[in-house]
Amino acid sequence: MAREKKDFDAIVIGSGPNGLAAAILMQQKGLSVLLLEGKSEIGGGLRSAELTLPGFKHDICSAIHPLASASPFFKTLPLANHGLSYIYPEIDAAHPLEHANSAFLCRSIDETAQHLGADEKAYKKLMGSVTKNWPLIDADVLGPLHFPKHPLALASFGLDAMKPVTLLAKSFKTKQAKALFAGMAAHAIQPLTNMATSAIALVLMAAGHLQGWPVPVGGSNSIANALASYFVLLGGKIETNTYVTSLHQLPSAYALLFDITPKQLLQIAGHKFSSIYKWQLERYRYGLGVYKIDWALDEAIPFTSDGCRKAGTIHLGNTLNEIRDAEQQTWNGKHPDKPYALLAQQSIFDSTRAPKGKHTAWAYCHVPNGSKHNMTEAIEKQVERYAPGFRDIILAKHTMDAMEMEEYNPNYIGGDINGGVIDIGQLFTRPVLRYSPYKTSEKGMYICSSSTPPGGGVHGMCGYYAAKKALKDVFDITDDTLERK
């Protein structure tokens, strides 16, 4: 019996990196795909704008992209042919310390280890093993829970990855090595005493050693624009300024994929779901929010450490203990005086970001979900702590508290940029405990956002795996894109 004719084979709601990835994979398979975006520009967290002064281009959300360059799916796409190019800082990430030498994540494991003194051999042993196995396990780590193709390699990674970073750090003696891992693990946006926080650190550091932590030339929107350009070249259709609040707004399609979090999914399609699935989604947990600042600067940030001036990313938090305490305070609903802050200085490497001789900088710290507390003073003190005179070079600034982040992007519930807390309870079972986390209880409906495995970050893997599931279920199409590696 012939299928009822639909307007499109598939519709993807939301054009963040995961929505774009899902749309591309389905279009690659010869389907007709419509991609809908509520804003006037595509990209989700991949947007850039002159937030402070004319000529100063700032990344509104994501800024540095180790997972974009390391993404198993994005690496299969000809994005360089669509205008995407990366610049790789001399040092991927720096971690300054008060009254002590800084720690650095460099492309070379040996060079990174040289800065760690007594922990040189321990670092080489740990990261040598991780980077050796990473090409065998990247699609498994950055995907849903399933039986891996290389179980021994994944098990070797998992033995350390599942530890709280406070436990993994006990393998090291120096404050530099301990702080370096703490700064990396704090990207998890949760207490460092939580299980699996080491996984975040190891993945980011492996990406640094294997791919680097690049800056996209022209701004983070360059990634979104390249993905969209390739999608359109394949025959896909994009409509912006289409904010979906009801299924009645949508043209007909065999499959719907939502690049949104459970809260919005319930608002749009909750009436279609089973009572059990709806109950599960209603109990999905969101994590900490962020407070973000963009600066227009008269000159480059005057870090005391020469290595910090050469790094694309700076982790401002001092020692492991200080970072641990600040993140725990935030988790407990407080606003620490010395927050852990992530800072990016893209204009050091990308001259398109600011007028000649001037610079931009980007930074955020974690805050309780939904916070409207102003953290500008606390963040700037953290920068000044390692770069005396920083405040004297500020020409203008733009801030966004946690609720303003949500207003900008409705996926950032309470300022949560990870689409839900990525702790052990939601690492592989996000958004619910099901055989496939991407498939909803309603036939033909899928969720493809960072609220599914592997979670937050610009990698597109949530979208890839959701589309792969929809292709098999709805269209009886098997995808082997990553298996060809």
Question: With 50 as the cut, is the pLDDT of residue 485 above it?
Answer: no
Mean pLDDT value across residues 283-296? 98
In this structure, is residue 2 part of a structural domain? no
- Give every CB contact of residue 59 below 8 A, 6+ residues apart in sequence: 47, 48, 219, 220, 344, 346, 362
378 band by pLDDT with thresholds 50, 70 and 90: very high
In this structure, is residue 3 part of a structural domain? no
Question: With 80 as the cut, is the pLDDT of residue 86 above it?
Answer: yes
CA proximity to 40, closest of 31, 49, 32? 49
Assess whether 190 and 298 both reside in one domain: yes
Q: Which of 408, 437, 455 is the last residue of a domain?
A: 408
Number of compact structural domains in the chain: 2
Assess whether 173 and 269 both reside in one domain: no
In this structure, is residue 384 part of a structural domain? yes
Residue range 229-287, pLDDT digits in tens? 999 999 999 999 999 999 999 999 999 999 999 999 999 999 999 999 999 999 999 99
Give CA–CA dist 137/260, Å, rounded.
27
CA distances from 168 to 13, 197, 239, 399, 426 (A): 40, 9, 47, 35, 21
In this structure, is residue 390 part of a structural domain? yes
Question: With 80 as the cut, is the pLDDT of residue 416 above it?
Answer: yes
In this structure, is residue 1 part of a structural domain? no
Assess whether 266 and 369 both reside in one domain: no
pLDDT at 9: 98
Question: With 90 as the cut, is the pLDDT of residue 21 above it?
Answer: yes
pLDDT at 223: 98
Mean pLDDT value across residues 96-119? 97
What average pLDDT is seen over the chain?
A: 96
Q: What is the residue range of 158's domain? A: 86-212+287-408
pLDDT at 484: 43
Residue range 124-171, pLDDT digits in tens? 999 999 999 999 999 889 888 888 889 999 999 999 999 999 999 999
Assess whether 233 and 176 both reside in one domain: no
Give CA–CA dist 401/289, Å, rounded.
8
Assess whether 362 and 444 both reside in one domain: no
pLDDT at 442: 98
Q: Which of 384, 408, 432 is the last residue of a domain?
A: 408
Amino acid at 436: S
CA proximity to 391, closest of 399, 401, 383? 383
339 band by pLDDT with thresholds 50, 70 and 90: very high
> 398 — phi, psi (to 5°)?
-135, 130
CA distances from 265 to 112, 244, 262, 270, 445 (A): 43, 10, 5, 7, 10
In this structure, is residue 314 part of a structural domain? yes
Question: With 80 as the cut, is the pLDDT of residue 1 above it?
Answer: no
Residue range 169-198, pLDDT digits in tens? 999 999 999 999 999 999 999 999 999 999
Assess whether 260 and 337 both reside in one domain: no
DSSP state of 194: S
2 band by pLDDT with thresholds 50, 70 and 90: low
What pTM was estimated for this model as a whole? 0.96
> CB-based burial of residue 12 (10 Å sphere; 0-12 exposed, 13-18 middle, 19+ buried)?
buried
Assess whether 371 and 423 both reside in one domain: no
Assess whether 375 and 296 both reside in one domain: yes
428 band by pLDDT with thresholds 50, 70 and 90: confident
CATH number where 156 lies = 3.90.660
Assess whether 355 and 366 both reside in one domain: yes
In this structure, is residue 317 part of a structural domain? yes
Question: With 90 as the cut, is the pLDDT of residue 82 above it?
Answer: yes
C-alpha torsion angle, residues 133, 139, 143, 144 (rounded to 10) = -80
Q: Which of 408, 435, 451 is the last residue of a domain?
A: 408
CA proximity to 19, closest of 263, 262, 259? 259
> CB-based burial of residue 75 (10 Å sphere; 0-12 exposed, 13-18 middle, 19+ buried)?
middle
Assess whether 64 and 110 both reside in one domain: no
Question: With 70 as the cut, is the pLDDT of residue 200 above it?
Answer: yes
> Does residue 94 contact residue 314 with C-beta atoms inside 8 Å?
yes
> Does residue 59 contact residue 36 with C-beta atoms inside 8 Å?
no
User: What residues are paired with 49 via a beta bridge?
Assistant: 58
Assess whether 313 and 171 both reside in one domain: yes
In this structure, is residue 413 part of a structural domain? no
pLDDT at 45: 94
Assess whether 187 and 305 both reside in one domain: yes
CATH number where 40 lies = 3.50.50.60
CA distances from 177 to 46, 170, 451 (A): 32, 10, 31
Q: Which token pair is 324?
A: 């641990």
